[in-house]
Structure 1
Amino acid sequence: MGNDDSGKRPLDVLDTAKGDRVIAKLKGGQTVSGNLKAFDLHLNMWLEDASVNEDGGQTDYGKLIIRGDNVILVSPE
């Protein structure tokens, strides 16, 4: 990351990333990327201009809501 995020809590880093692109790895092996619009303490996320990469293919979505139970990791792009 380009920012100095030392000393920040993980949810603070996500809060800073609102409006920017993030990438999330899900339990099913999918990778999701999109513009982070909102999230909660359970890592439920609302993404816009989202795409899902799975089995070598990509599917584009306008808006996507991810259930936090499925998230393994999430990071600003």
Structure 2
Amino acid sequence: MQGIDMTKRPMDILDQVLNRQPVLISLKGGREIKGVLQGYDVHMNLVLDKAEEIVQGQAQSIGTLIIRGDNVIYISPNPQ
């Protein structure tokens, strides 16, 4: 991964991108959200700033967003 050290703990990777670069989050139901990770907890509840929902390849601005952890499928620290 570009700019991210490989670590053994997933939370370490989230700490490295916290408040720095956008992440891509895949949610149950097929939704994808991109934004800057502002915070998270052990339940994977997430706070995103500058959030955008990706719909048919187009970004739709949402703003600040809180995502409940049990809806998260994956978090990618290097969205393309």
TM-score in terms of structure 2 length: 0.84
2:8 partner SS: coil
Q: Which segments of 5 or more consecutive residues in structure 2 lack a partner in the other structure?
A: none
Matched residue count: 75
Please state which structure has a larger fraction of its residues in helix.
2
Supply the RMSD in Å over aligned alpha carbons: 1.3
TM-score in terms of structure 1 length: 0.87
Q: CA deviation at 1:15?
A: 1.1
CA distance in 2, matches of 1:62, 1:18: 17
Q: Which residue of 2 aligns with 1:10?
A: 10
Q: Which segments of 5 or more consecutive residues in structure 1 lack a partner in the other structure?
A: none
* Percent of aligned pairs with the same amino acid: 43
TM-superposition CA deviations, 1:19-55 (whole Å, max 9, x none): 121111001101111000000011110000000123x
